[in-house]
């Protein structure tokens, strides 16, 4: 009896404990939150797997056109512009499968049959599954056509000019043409874009604060210019590549530019005379030059700065005094630059007297600068028809015996026969000279 009573009391206490635990659980917020979340998952799984297992999503697929083994590719065409960069593809299928799809799972088939030459084309595009089999279907896509521009690629070489207008030099100096390491630049890109390039120029980027007085190296950038001398449109520029010796420098078109700095000098025009008669050796022939001076630019490292600009050498044997006006081009050393536009000078010879001419036969010969121990014999008897130039008042007084041919033996240093130039002189008439070139045969022998 007692045992039965004890068993009933234990059973009653256990029931009381169980009722207490359930009540506590129901009133606990954390337990309710966990229970609600688990229930929501169960409900969602039921909807996804049973009620609405299919759905659709839209994927943006980038347009990529491969021209290998295609008719446009065999024609040398390339894609240079695609107006629509992506196609929005709507895909239907199991919800749990679509969640794993990406643009790489879809291929775009672009129809190229209409592409036969450079130009713009509206091409049909159809998306397909990239995998042989798939558990989804392509329901729709947009756009159905894409606008694509095709062109042939071209390479054209341009001389690399320089623009150093921002490189300032000090007063009294001049900046020459800029110098860059590479003489030529190759522009590569679609033919239509390359055709818009008229010139390639390395441009100094920044103006220097301190004017240069010596050559300097500055930073520059390569620019592509159109036929009007303006930078080409940025949309065109981005389609072009720049190559130097086969190396692509498109991403870094910077360049070093050497700025030559030249000293400006204003110098007088001068003439030089040779084979003058004795009078003009002591009293140089006067002349006027127009312009009298010219400005030139000379490298600053020139060892000896020039003080004059000789424009011509007058040989009296070729000088006709009846002609007094001459035009000469100013010819400078390669490192010099003329700052005058004309580049030529007018010369007027100022003879103080009226000159005329007479013709004589010359039978006298005189040797000068002969070597000791040698004798020279002229094998010619005379020079026939020698034209003399001189003042009109003196020409009537000249006697034939006063005229002689002067032969310079300075470069005849061994025995033998020579043909040597001769200069016509007139004793007592130092303003007269022989017009033309003369030579005589001379036999040089040692004295016995």
Q: Which tokens belong to 368?
A: 């000068």
Tell me: do 346 and 390 sit in the same domain: no
Tell me: do 341 and 420 sit in the same domain: no
Residue that terminates a domain, selected from 197, 225, 259:
259
Domain that holds residue 389: 355-446
Is the pTM value of this prediction over 0.85? no
Burial class (CB in 10 A: 0-12, 13-18, 19+), 423: buried
In whole angstroms, what is the distance from residue 150 CA to residue 261 CA?
48
Give a yes or no: residue 379 inside a domain.
Answer: yes
Give a yes or no: residue 115 inside a domain.
Answer: yes
Tell me: do 337 and 269 sit in the same domain: yes
What DSSP line would sit under 295-363, residue for residue? EEEEETT-SS----EEEEEEEGGG--TT--EEEEE----TT-EE--SS-EEEEEEE-SS-EEEEEEEE-
Q: Are strands 179-180 and 136-142 parallel, antiparallel or unpaired?
A: unpaired
pLDDT in tens, the chain (448 residues): 555 555 555 555 555 555 445 555 556 666 667 767 777 776 666 665 554 557 788 999 999 888 888 998 888 888 888 888 899 999 888 777 777 888 888 999 999 989 999 999 999 999 998 876 677 888 899 999 999 999 988 999 999 999 999 999 999 999 988 999 989 999 999 998 999 999 999 999 888 889 999 999 999 999 999 999 999 999 899 989 999 988 999 999 999 999 999 999 999 999 999 888 989 999 999 999 999 999 999 999 888 999 999 888 888 888 888 888 988 888 888 888 888 866 789 999 998 888 999 999 999 998 888 878 788 888 888 899 999 999 998 888 999 999 999 988 887 778 888 888 888 999 999 999 999 889 898 888 888 7
The number of folded domains in the chain is 5
Give a yes or no: residue 148 inside a domain.
Answer: no
Residue that terminates a domain, selected from 259, 280, 309:
259
**Kindly report the CA angle at 414 between 411 and 418, in degrees rounded to 5?**
65
Sequence-distant (≥ 6) Cβ neighbours of residue 139 within 8 angstroms: 56, 90, 91, 92
Tell me: do 332 and 387 sit in the same domain: no
In whole angstroms, what is the distance from residue 115 CA to residue 151 CA?
10
Tell me: do 286 and 310 sit in the same domain: yes
Residue that terminates a domain, selected from 115, 143, 171:
143
Q: Which tokens belong to 29?
A: 């917020």
Give a yes or no: residue 17 inside a domain.
Answer: yes
* Three-class secondary structure of residue 415 per DSSP: coil
In whole angstroms, what is the distance from residue 164 CA to residue 159 CA?
16
């Amino acid at each position: 009896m007692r045992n039965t009573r004890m068993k009933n009391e234990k059973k009653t206490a256990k029931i009381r404990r169980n009722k207490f635990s359930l009540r506590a659980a129901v009133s606990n917020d954390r337990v309710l939150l966990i229970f609600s979340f688990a229930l929501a998952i169960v409900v969602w799984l039921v909807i996804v797997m049973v009620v609405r297992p299919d759905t659709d999503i839209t994927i943006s697929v980038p347009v990529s056109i491969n021209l290998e083994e295609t008719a446009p590719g065999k024609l040398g065409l390339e894609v240079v512009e695609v107006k629509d960069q992506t196609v929005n593809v709507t895909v239907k299928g199991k919800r749990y499968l679509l969640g794993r799809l990406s643009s790489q799972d879809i291929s775009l088939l672009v129809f190229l049959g209409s592409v036969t030459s450079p130009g713009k084309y509206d091409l049909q595009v159809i998306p397909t599954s990239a995998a042989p089999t798939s558990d989804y279907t392509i329901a729709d896509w947009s756009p159905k056509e894409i606008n694509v521009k095709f062109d042939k690629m071209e390479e054209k070489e341009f001389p690399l000019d320089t623009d150093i207008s921002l490189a300032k030099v000090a007063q009294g100096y001049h900046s020459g043409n800029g110098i860059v390491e590479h003489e030529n630049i190759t522009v590569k890109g679609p033919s239509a874009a390359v055709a818009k390039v008229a010139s390639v120029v390395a441009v100094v980027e920044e103006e220097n604060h301190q004017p240069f007085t010596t050559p300097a190296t500055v930073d520059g950038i390569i620019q592509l210019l159109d036929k009007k001398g303006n930078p080409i449109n940025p949309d065109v520029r981005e389609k072009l590549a720049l190559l130097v010796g086969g190396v692509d420098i498109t991403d870094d078109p910077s360049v070093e530019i050497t700025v030559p700095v030249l000293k400006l000098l204003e110098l007088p025009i001068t003439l030089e005379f040779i084979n003058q008669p004795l009078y003009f050796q002591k009293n140089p022939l006067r002349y006027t030059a127009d312009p009298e001076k010219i400005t030139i630019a000379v490298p600053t490292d020139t060892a000896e700065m020039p003080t004059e600009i000789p424009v011509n050498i007058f040989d009296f044997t070729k000088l006709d005094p009846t002609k007094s006006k001459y035009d000469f081009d100013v010819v400078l050393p390669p490192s010099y630059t003329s700052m005058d536009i004309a580049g030529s000078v007018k010369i007027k010879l100022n003879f103080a007297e009226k000159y005329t001419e007479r013709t004589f036969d010359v039978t006298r010969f005189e040797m000068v600068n002969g070597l000791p121990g040698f004798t020279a014999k002229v094998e010619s008897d005379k020079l026939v028809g020698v034209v003399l130039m001189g003042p009109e008042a003196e020409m009537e007084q000249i006697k034939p015996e006063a005229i002689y041919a002067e032969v310079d033996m300075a470069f005849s240093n061994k025995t033998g026969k020579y043909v040597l130039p001769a200069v016509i002189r007139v004793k007592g008439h130092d303003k007269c000279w022989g017009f033309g070139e003369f030579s005589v045969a001379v036999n040089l022998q040692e004295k016995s």
